[in-house]
A and B are shown apart, each in its own frame.
Chain A
Amino acid sequence: MSLLTLAKRRLLDPVRTRSLWVMLALFALVFGLMGYLGGSNSMLDTATQSVAIMAFLLPLVALSYSYDAIAGPRESGSLRVLLSYPFTRREVVLGTLVGRIAVVTLGVLAGVLAAIVATVAFGGSLDLVAFGIVLAVSTLFAAVMVAIGVGISASVPTTNAAVLTAFGSYLLYFAFWDLLPTLGRYVLNGFAFPTGPPPEWVLIWSQLNPITAYRAVAEAVLAQPPTGAFYHTVWFAIVVLGAWFVLTIGIGLVRFDRADL
């Protein structure tokens, strides 16, 4: 009950500030454009293309709707009003998580609907099952990215710290993830560039990136499940996504529960 009251408020915040419409328009525009290109070019697999766009767009949108969701009210003092009501700190974190997952899910929905409409309108071949898969897997991925953002937001005292950590995470996933093992091997190699094929732990590390895991799950379900090492299976990718969800929101819960607000 308390959880739903809080989740509803955190869902309605972007509606009331009207930022929701901007986000929905962005998703509709991007996926509409993609559907148009797919409709006029039969070589393009729009479902697979949707996954590639989601992998880039969703972390950005999910983090921007979550990094400030707890640190912001904590810094401004609006949390001091909220916590005078019968909510526990845990409920504040989880209610925020649920509400903001709902917000970002609306974006995913808008994107997939726009892609479907545009594909049909511009004469492409429509695979509804594939789009259903994109919708389901992307929603799970959105939930993971919101959990990362809310976890960060609950762990730090100020908006500044939250925005730096969230932006840093985004750069880490997109730019630095695969550089880190190279850097590690460089140091281990006595500050000389390593030669030869990468060892297995580097390959495993690469699959631990939540964005890589999302693409792995989506592509495995859309096309053929890959065969090979355990860390290339779809189950490994699902466990990676689940672990990101549980660990980040868990850290947020614990840190927020211990903090002086």
Chain B
Amino acid sequence: MPAIEIDALHKRFGSVEALRGVDLTVEDGEVYGFLGPNGAGKSTTIDVILDYVRPTSGEATVFGLDATEHTKEIRQRIGVLPDAYHLDGHLTGRQHLQFAIDAKDASDDPGSLLDRVGLSEQAGRRGAGGYSKGMAQRLLLAIALVGDPDLIILDEPSTGLDPNGARRMREIVREENDRGATVFFSSHILGQVEAVCDRVGILDEGQIVAEDTMAGLEASLGSEAQLSVTLDRDPGEAILGDVERVPDVRNVTVQDRTVTVACPDARKIDVLDAVRADDVTVTDFETSEPSLEEMFASLTEGDR
């Protein structure tokens, strides 16, 4: 049974359509990265999973339970680091953590949880009103770990964390995953997701535009490598036809003395041969493997 299943989810706030048919599945035991630019609808999707907002249509289930019907059972089994939260300032970090432990009827030791996220005992005794954003994120991460949840949902967990904190967060994600927990976390920065995720889904303008394993995404990027060939003179438009005859090439363009083409690695030599056949001399060529970052950008900024 999938940990999270979202089916044709729509959410409208007044005249704004925040989610326009989101479908995604988070399998039991995986680390799933939920990517998208700010405003894509990541938090709204998570808010539906947590029953903070109600869907306009479509549905979300967690462990096969409807997210709006079975909130209590679901919340008993999940740990959450929500976005746009506020910590009551009159409670200390430790009191916040103890409340989460009581609420879940768990038996965790607050001290060792604080230690695990890198908050000192002293920090735990301070009022949470004085916490920096990074300390608050660490405390919320500790709270999300209470009761060894089956599913951990982290909404933009790296916000405000220094590099050490971000590394600690990734280590904890791995440790929890090794324990058997499913981890679902959102980010607008691909680099944070790349290192720990089994699979990613990319959300843009309220729709999933790509969903694949990291390896699958990288493989599909391989076919998108760009080859630029610089010639000794302007070859003219005639060269276009010759290059386009090479199988598997796309997006052939000529500008001044440079021919640019998107092709799989295996076709690069064929492209060079096709260019040379046109009675020009190749002075230089370079290939670029677009990073995941670029693909992410092209997927989510293409139509803006």
Interface residues of A (CB under 8 A from B): 1-2, 5, 9, 13, 16-17, 73, 76-78, 80-81, 83-89, 258, 260-261
Contacts and interface: CB of A to CB of B under 8 A. Distances in A.
A103 B102 CA distance: 21
Contacts of B105: 1
A81 B87 contact: yes
B140 interface: yes
A53 B96 CA distance: 38
A3 to B, nearest CB: 11
Interface stretch (B70-78, B186-194, B195-203, B271-279): B70-78
Contacts of A87: 72, 75, 103
B99 A78 contact: no
A261 B52 contact: yes
Interface residues of B, number: 34
B103 A5 contact: yes
B90 interface: yes
**Most B CB atoms within 10 A — which of A16, A80, A258?**
A80
A84 B76 contact: no
Contacts of A5: 99, 102-103
Contacts of A81: 82, 85-87, 96, 140, 143
Nearest to B95: A16
Most buried by A among B83, B86, B143: B86
A74 to B, nearest CB: 10
Nearest to A8: B102
Contacts of A78: 85-88
Given A77-B86, A80-B82, A85-B104, A260 B52 contact: yes
The listed residue with most B CB atoms (<10 A of its CB), out of A2, A84, A87, A88, is A84
B117 interface: no
B36 to A, nearest CB: 20
A86 B143 contact: no
Contacts of B100: 85
A237 to B, nearest CB: 38
A83 B52 contact: yes
B86 A88 contact: no
A96 to B, nearest CB: 13
B54 interface: yes
